[in-house]
Amino acid sequence: MRISIELNFAQETLSPLNSNLELFKPNTRNKTTPKLNINIVEKSFTGVDAKNHIKNRNRSIKLLRNGENLIFNYFTGQFLTDPDFSDVKIWSPYEKEISIERDGSINYNGDPTLRLILWGRASLEKYCYLHGALVVLEGKYILLMGDSGVGKTTLSKLSCECGGTCLTEEDPFISKIDNEIIAYGTPWPGIIGPPVPDSGKLHSIFFLEHAKQNELKRLTPPEASKLLLHNSRTFNWLPHTIPDAIDLLNITAQSIPSYRFGFTPDQSAVEKLLSVL
């Protein structure tokens, strides 16, 4: 499945990181979904500067309704979308979303606003957003899952040092296509390794924890399902998308080998991973 994104700016001084981001593009099928049109307004909808806007608002996200349209009101601004997340208008790109290039041009990277929009669109398309890293070792796509601080970034870097690739440290998605679970990178890859396709058939899942020595324990499907749910990010602002996400997690737990992996932060951990791939 392919979601093609078209970014339109209020002023020509802004240029997108990639005007036609091809996110969620699996190797197994070339099915095209409707284009996601995003119109960006440079001024905050409140009319205040970004620092004061952020300071005076908490970090929660509120969903409002305007007829059939949805308004997402959050700490850095606001965006308006139709129910299908195919036509979106954004107010207030702020400092984190904009960078000035060496040639003086202004670049919009869309984080976190575009991330939230893609998350909503992906949820409607029955994708599931996970808290983990997506790594490719010897051509096999594996997920490294766990809470913050458990070592996902460390093991991702070690994998790259051993010839692997980290497609994303934080934001992989999964979906089910033709009875296969496909894992996807994002436009914000983090660690860059050797060039590989940005999505592929998921081979295995590792739930990480710190240990004095490398230890792997195969999980039962119910155990894996529970841990996947704990490490998933359902789009709670659209509750009707949650049952599909839970179904996908259960199918993934039943069909993908999953392990609890206690590891030491050195290259022996990667060798242990390779022993079961």
pLDDT at 33 over 70: no
Statement to judge: residues 92 and 150 lie in one domain = no
Residues 29 and 138 in one domain: no
Give the amino acid at 134: L
Task: Note whether 147 and 80 are same-domain residues.
Answer: no
Q: Are residues 154 and 268 located together in one domain of the fold?
A: yes
**Domain limit, last residue, from 124, 140, 159:** 124
218 and 133 in one domain? yes
Dump pLDDT digits (tens) for 123-175: 998 999 999 999 999 999 999 999 888 999 999 999 999 999 998 888 899 99
Per-residue confidence (pLDDT) for residue 15, from 0 to 100: 54
Give the pLDDT score at 54.
Answer: 47
Last residue of a domain, one of 109, 124, 139: 124
In this predicted model, what pLDDT tens digit does every residue of 245-255 receive, in sequence order?
A: 999 999 999 99
One domain, residues 260 and 132: yes
- Who wins on pLDDT, 270 or 22? 270
79 and 109 belong to one structural domain = yes
Distances (CA, A) of 179 to 9, 77, 96, 255: 40, 39, 39, 9
Q: Verify that 228 and 257 share a domain, yes or no.
A: yes
- Per the structure, the count of domains in the chain is 2
3-class secondary structure, 90: strand
Strands (E), 128-210: 128-130, 132-137, 140-145, 165-168, 173-177, 180-184, 199-210
The residue among 34, 35, 28 whose CA lies nearest residue 177 is: 28
For residues 61 and 191, membership in a common domain is answered with: no
Please check whether residues 63 and 181 belong to one and the same domain. no
Domain that holds residue 84: 3-124
Q: Is residue 227 scored above 90 in pLDDT?
A: yes
Cross-strand partners of 173: 129, 184
> Which of 124, 159, 182 is at the close of a domain?
124
Q: Are 192 and 153 within 8 A, CB to CB?
A: no
